[in-house]
Amino acid sequence: MGPGPVSPESAVFNYYNNNSGDGQAGPGRLPPDPFGPQRFNMPLPARNDDFAGGNERNIDTRPDARGIGPRLDTSYTFFREAEVGYYGSEHQHVMAGALSFLPIQTPCWVVGTRLGAAFNGNTGVADDLLGATTDLFWGTRFGHTYFKVGYFCDWTSDFRKQGVESSILTKLGPLGNVTFDGAFGFGEGQDIFNSQVPLLNLNRRTEIARQDFQVRVGKFLSPYFQTGLSGGWANFATVENEFSGGLFANWFIGRTTISADLTGGTSGLRGYLVMGFNWGGGANIDSHPIDPYFDNPIDTTSWVTRATRRDITMKLRESDTGVGPPQIVPVILK
């Protein structure tokens, strides 16, 4: 009787090594395999139904696999979001409503716009005014870093504020995910003079901030909550410049996004509260392709397809620096 059956591993090992010894394979034999021992320690393909995305060969078939990145054009229709918000301070109270659209969508970049109307209640600084707010932005991703850059303009019949906005979502080593949002605006419009005490030749000047810069740095503590530090500074031609600092937060609850910001400083107590309602695939984070590069499963598609969150208020300030009308000089007739 011949020898009994051998294990498949032994048979393959002997098959690879049964040669003449000079590195040349004989008839019907294979050459030596220097990686043979390592190959025997590799797992064999097998059925796996234990995780989402697995197939019968244990290969990840998710479209957002690590190194590829999610598509940006699979979640939202043309209409992106409707929002209403209140922007308040001791000087002004602004209420606004806006709609966001995504007219151009590709797998790696999108173009969006935000159009809205606002009521500027200026609490005595100037007359109450009706105005508008607009944003035009381009969002994209480079690997697993997401960018937004855009132009914005807020205006009324008397004043305007326009500038550039930019946002970044990326991962920085042990800090994990980090977000940056900046809006850098420049005020325009002629100063308004209101005569307060004509007999004393005093006029009240109302002016807009020549530069109004806002910066917010934060991170996602969970897939549904983002928070961080908020800061701003405003430069005026006549009155003293103002600085402020505080906190901001964004909550994502189903189709609803709630954004809040509260700061204090030389500009006084100010902030905003905005609520947005998403269309399309924005029902919740589970309906979007998720980037597995981040520790928390962040909805990067929702983030990059929305205009930079910012304070749309045009900062107006008063001062007793106006020049009144010339005094009437009596003429003495001789």
Q: Which sequence spans correspond to the domains of the chain? A: 10-40, 79-320
pLDDT tens for 69-123 read 677 887 788 899 999 999 998 888 999 999 999 999 988 899 999 999 998 887 6
Q: How confident is the model at residue 184 (pLDDT cuts 50, 70, 90)?
A: very high
Is the model's pTM score more than 0.75? no
For residue 249, give the 3-state DSSP assignment. strand
Q: What is the pLDDT of residue 20?
A: 46
What is the biggest distance separating any 2 CA atoms in the chain, rounded to whole angstroms?
153
Segment 263-269 mean pLDDT:
91
Q: How confident is the model at residue 228 (pLDDT cuts 50, 70, 90)?
A: very high
Taking the domain 79-320, which CATH number applies?
2.40.160.160
Written as six digits, the tokens of 118 are: 């606002």
Q: Cα–Cα distance between 231 and 124 in angstroms, integer?
A: 26
Q: Which residue has the tokens 């005020």?
A: 187
Nearest Cα to Cα of residue 226 among 256, 249, 252, 258 = 249
What type of residue is 311? D
Q: What is the pLDDT of residue 163?
A: 96
Q: Does residue 250 have a pLDDT over 90?
A: yes
Q: What is the pLDDT of residue 134?
A: 95
Q: Does residue 45 have a pLDDT over 70?
A: no
116: left (phi over 0), alpha (psi -120 to 50) or beta: beta
Q: Does residue 154 have a pLDDT over 70?
A: yes
CB atoms within 10 A of CB 142: 11
